Structure 1
C-alpha cells in the first residue's frame, strides 16, 4: 500500500493504543479488570456488543455471503431481538445477583465445583473454536492486504501478528479498555462499510432499476439475490424463515446467555435493565450495518457482471472478493481507512474473548482448585496479575487453533459466516441445556451436568455434514442447519441434566 494508507493505519492503531493505556488505570481489583466495576453506560456497552459482532466474519464474510447467495442472512439478525429480550428478562437478573465474575459460577453454586469446572471447560473449548475462527478470518483478510496471498506461510505470520497486537492492549487495560476501544472500532467499521458501499456504487455506474433487475435475475443461477425471506421447508437452510422463527432464536439465546464473551459485555452496566437496554440497542444498530455489508456483496456481484474489474480467485475462491476490491479500487487514504476498519473488526472480536477466557480460567478453574486444597483465596492484585498471564497463553492457543481452522474451513465448503457460526454450537448445545435446568428447576446433579455437556457436543458433531460424510451416513440422514442442530443438542442436554431428582445441596 502507498505511504498515505500506512499513515492512516498506524494513526488508527496509535489512537487505539492510547485509549487502552488511559483505560488501564485503576485495574488492581478483579471486578474492575473483568466487569469494570459495573460502571459502563449502556450505550457504550451496546457499541461494544456491536463491535464484537462486527468481526472479520462480518467484514469479509457478509460480502461473501451475499456475493454467493442473497439477503437471507438478515433473518439471523432479526432473530437476535427476541433472543436478547429473553436473555434480559430471564437470565441477566440472576447473573447480576451472582457474586462471580464468570457466569459459570452459577453452575458451581447449584451442582458443586466439579460441575462448575466442567461448564467452564466447555466454554473454554467452545470459545477457542469460535474465536479461533474469527482470528483466522481476520488474518485471512490482513494476509491478503499485507502479502497478497493467504497461503499457509503468510497466513501463519498474520495470525501471529493479529493475536499479539490484540493481546497487548487487552492484557494492559482489562474490560474497561476493551469496551472503550470497541466503541471506536464499531464506529470505524460501520463508517468504512458505508464508504465502501458509496465507492462501489459509483464504480458500478448503472441506473438503480438496472441493478435491481440484474439482482432479481440472479445471473447464471437464476436465483433472486434480493430475496430476504426463504420460506422453503428445507431444514438444511441456515437462514430460512422457519429456522429464523425457531432454531436461530435458540442459538442466539445460547450466545447471549451462556457465552461469557458475550454476556460479559452485558454485565458491565449498572443494572440488569441497563444490560437489557444495551443488548436490544446493539441488535437494532446491527440491522442497518449488516444490510450495508450484505449490499456490498451484492454490488460486488453486479460489478463482476458489468465490468469484471473485481474477480474471484482462479479456483473460484470468493473469500477474497471484498479484499480485492479494497486493494484495487478504493482511492488513496480511503484504502488505509478500510484496512483500519478491517483491523478494528479483527481486534474488537478478539480482545473480549481473551478477557472472558481469563475470567473463566481464574474464577472457575484456578480459584475453586485452590479452595478444594485448602489454600487461601488469591487477593485481587494476584488474580489480576495471573489473569494477565493467562491471556498470554490463551493468545498463543488461539493462534494455533486459528491456523488449524483455516484448513478445516476450506475443506468444509461452507461460507465464512456459516463456518464461524457452526463452530460455536459445539459448546453452546451442552451449556444452554445445563443453564436452563440449573436456573429454572431444582433437578440435576454434578454427574448429570458433565454427561449433558458431553452429550450436547456429540449431537453437534454427529449432525455435522462433513462428519457424516466421514462415517458414510450422509445419504441416510437429513442435513440440518445450525439452529436445528443446537435445538436438538440443547434439548438432549437439558433432559440428561434433569434426570436426577430435585437436588438438596451441591455435590
Structure 2
C-alpha cells in the first residue's frame, strides 16, 4: 500500500502527532524569550556550542541530502563522499580565520565585517548579495523537499502538486520561524535532527532486513558494480566530485557557506566565544560526514533491493520516493513522514531568519535609526514573512529550471549556491587575508562573481562556446578567483585591518 496520508495507520498518526506537538511546544515556549532584534537574531550570544553544532548540521544537510544523497549512491557510486574533504577544510578555515574576526568586531551579521574593512557600501552590497543567493539556495531546497511531500500526499510529481507542496512547506516554515527568532530556529533544529536521523536509521534497518542476501554476497555485488568508488582522480572539468574539486572548488563553496553566508554563520554568532563557535563548526562537519554516509548507505541498499526488479523506477530520485511511499510498515511510515517534514522545514526556518536579520541589521536599522526595540522586532518578523514569499516563489521557478537542466537533485542544489558564493567568498578572503580593496572594488567583485557564474551556466556556456559543461566546483573556482583579483586590485586604507 502506498504511503499516503489516507493510508496512515494509528501508529503513524501517533508518531506524526507527537512530532508536531513537540515542535509546537518548543516554538511556544521559546516565543516568550526575544526582547529585541538582537535577541531575535543572536539569542543573546548564550547558545550552547553543542546545540549550535547540531543546528549547523541540520541546515547543512536538509532535504537536499535526504533525497539527493541516496540518489547519488543509487545512480552512481560514493564519489560524493570526497566532497567532505572540502567541507572539513572549509570548517577549519572558517574556525581559524573568519570566526575570530567576527567576534573581535562584535558584528550582528557577518557583513558587518565588510563595513569595518571596506565601508558601509560594501556591507550593504554584501547583504543584498546574500539575500539573492539565499533565495536561490534555500528555494532549491524547498523545491527538493516538495518532491517528497507531493509524492506522499498526491502519489506523483505533477507540476501543480509540486507547487501546492511548496506553498504548504513555505507557509509552515513562516509560521514557526516568525514566533521566536534564531533561538527557536536552533532548538527546533535539534528536535528536527533527532527525528531526521530516526527516520534514516529506521529506513536502513528495514532495507537491510529486506535485502535478504548474506553480507558478503551484498558487498561483492556492490563492488562488482563499482559502487564503492570514493576517490576520483580524473581531471575532467565536467565531473563535479573528484579529489581536485574537493580540494579547490568545494572548499571554496563551503568556506562561503559557513563563513560568508548569514544563514549558517548566524548560528555561529550565537555562541559565547569564538572558540566555542569554532568547536561548533568543526564538530558539525565531522558529524555531517557520518550522516552523509548513512544516506549513501540507503542508496546502496536500495540499489541491491532493486537490482533485478524491472518494475521499480530506474531513476534514483523516484526509486527512493517509491520505496518510501510503498514499502514501509505502519509506525516506520509515520517516522519517515515526520523526517521528511523535518528535512523540509529545516530548509526554510534558518533561511527566513537569516534573510530578515541581514535586511534589518544591515539595511533597515542604518536607514531608520533611533526607533524602539519593539519596532525593530516587528520589522524583523515582517521580514521573515516577506522572505518566505520570495523563497517559495523561487522554489516554484525551480520546478521548471531543474527539469530542463537534467541534473540530479543534489547537483542542482549545490550549483545554485555558486551564483552568490563566488563573489562573497572572494570579498571576505580579501578582507581577512589582505589590506587591499575599497568599497568600489568589493562591490565590483560581488557583481563579477555573479556575472561570471551566469556566463558559465551550461545552457549559456555550451551555446556560446560549443565546449563541454564545466562542473559547478570549477565554476566556483573560476568565478571566485576573478572576483578576488577585482576585490584586491586597489590599495586599501593604511589602517585597513579585519
TM-score, length-normalised on structure 1? 0.93
Cα separation, 1, equivalents of 2:24 and 2:308: 42
For 2:24 and 2:205, the matched residues in 1 are separated by 30
**What pairs up with 1:17-96 in 2 under 5 angstroms?**
17-96=24-103
Cα deviation for residue 180 of structure 1 reads 0.7
CA apart distance, 1:108: 2.2
* Counterparts in 2 of 1:35 and 1:299: CA distance versus 1, 3 Å: same
Name the structure 2 match of 1:457: 450
- Whether 1:502 aligns to 2:495 is no
5+ long unaligned stretches in structure 2? 1-6
Q: Matches of 1:359 and 1:12 in 2, distance apart?
A: 28
**Structure 1: runs of 5+ lacking an equivalent:** 219-223, 371-375
The structural deviation recorded for 1:26 is 2.1
What CA distance in whole angstroms lies between the structure 1 residues aligned with 2:8 and 2:22?
Answer: 21
Alignment of 1:185 with 2:192, yes or no, is yes
Report deviation, 1:439: 2.5
State the Cα distance separating 1:479 from its structure 2 match.
3.5
The 1-side partners of 2:442 and 2:492 are apart by 14
Q: Is residue 466 of structure 2 the alignment partner of residue 474 of structure 1? A: yes
Please show how residues 418-429 of structure 1 align to structure 2 within 5 Å.
Answer: 418-429=411-422
Which deviates further from its counterpart, 421-430 or 376-385?
Answer: 376-385
* Cα distance in 2 for residues equivalent to 1:173 and 1:86: 31
| 1:471-494, Cα deviation, whole Å (9 max, x unpaired) | 34232xx53322222122111111
1:154 CA displacement? 1.1
Shift of 1:308: 5.0
Deviations 1:193-247 (A, max 9, x none): 11101101111211112212222222xxxxx111111112222221111112222
Is the 2:140–2:413 contact (alpha carbons within 8 Å) kept by the matching residues of 1? Answer: yes
Q: Offset at 1:504?
A: 5.6
CA shift for structure 1 position 317 = 4.5
Secondary structure of 1:54 counterpart: helix
Question: Where does residue 358 of structure 2 map in the other structure?
Answer: 360
Deviates more, 1:496-505 or 1:122-131: 496-505
Partner of 1:373: none
- 3-state DSSP of counterpart to 2:407: coil
Distance in 2 (alpha carbons) for counterparts of 1:10 and 1:468: 49
Structure 1 CA distance for aligned equivalents of residues 84 and 370 of structure 2:
42
Give CA-to-partner distance per residue, 1:51-94, whole Å, 9 cap, x none: 11231101111111111111111111232222111101101011
Question: Once the two structures are superposed, what CA deviation does each residue of 1:241-289 show, in whole Å capped at 9, x if it has no partner?
Answer: 1112222112211111100001111111111110111111111111121
Give the total of aligned pairs.
489
Matches within 5 A, 1:351-500: 351-370=349-368, 376-469=369-462, 471-475=463-467, 479-500=469-490
Counterparts of 1:146 and 1:181, CA distance in 2: 24
Runs of 4+ deviating beyond 4 Å = none
8 Å contact kept, 2:130–2:262: yes
- The answer (yes or no) to whether the contact 1:111–1:505 under 8 Å persists in 2 is no
Q: Which moved more, 1:274-283 or 1:241-250?
A: 241-250
CA distance in 1, matches of 2:37, 2:486: 35
Q: CA deviation at 1:11?
A: 2.3
Q: How far did 1:505 drift?
A: 8.2
Aligned counterparts of 1:408 and 1:7: Cα–Cα separation in 2: 37
* Contact in 2 for aligned 1:54/1:189 (Cα 8 Å): no
TM-score (norm 2): 0.95
Indicate which of 145, 156, 163 corresponds to 1:149: 156
Of stretches 198-207 and 495-504 in structure 1, the one that deviates more from structure 2 is 495-504
Contact 1:66/1:294 (8 A) holds in 2: yes
Matched with 1:234 is 236
Matches within 5 A, 1:206-245: 206-218=213-225, 224-245=226-247
- CA distance, structure 2, for counterparts of residue 202 and residue 136 of structure 1: 32
CA contact 1:110–1:505 (8 Å) conserved in 2: no
* CA distance in structure 2 between the aligned counterparts of 1:438 and 1:6, rounded to whole angstroms: 52
Aligned partners of 2:297 and 2:466: how far apart in 1? Answer: 34
Which secondary structure does the structure 2 equivalent of 1:268 belong to? Answer: coil
User: Residues 441 and 281 from structure 1, CA distance in 2 versus in 1: closer, same or farther, beyond 3 angstroms?
Assistant: same
